[in-house]
Amino acid sequence: MTHTVSAEQERREADLVERVIRSFDGCSDPRLKQLMTSLVHHLHAFAREVRLTEEEWTKGIEFLTAAGHMTDDKRQEFILLSDVLGLSM
């Protein structure tokens, strides 16, 4: 499904991303800054591409929170999630 957004909305979204990116200007670790900058760009691009709703965002946060609660020193749910998403391959 294609969602049409106004030029104003596109500008607001771009401005938001740039503000977040600038928040890393003081990062003393160049690699961390690169990783966080790329993460922000990709995460926001994903949210724009699918026009993520607040309800969907909340469900995603609840899923990640639940995975975090299941994680302990013997069980690492985020590694399993990485496997499921094919990132560990």
Q: Which residue has the tokens 């609660």?
A: 69
Of the candidates 46, 66, 70, the one whose C-alpha atom is nearest the C-alpha of residue 58 is 66
Percent helix, strand, coil in the chain, to 5, is 70, 0, 30
Query: Over the stretch 9-45, which tens digit does the pLDDT of each residue have?
Result: 999 999 999 999 999 999 999 999 999 999 999 999 9
What mean pLDDT is reported for the chain? 92
Give ∠ CA 86-88-89 in degrees, rounded to 5: 70
Domain ranges within the chain, ordered by starting residue: 1-52, 54-89
Query: Over the stretch 43-65, which tens digit does the pLDDT of each residue have?
Result: 999 999 999 999 999 999 999 99
Q: By the 8 A CB rule, do 54 and 62 touch?
A: no
Q: Which two tokens stand for residue 16?
A: 């938001």
| The predicted structure's pLDDT at residue 2 | 65
Q: What is the pTM of this model?
A: 0.80
| The predicted structure's pLDDT at residue 78 | 85
Q: By the 8 A CB rule, do 77 and 68 touch?
A: yes
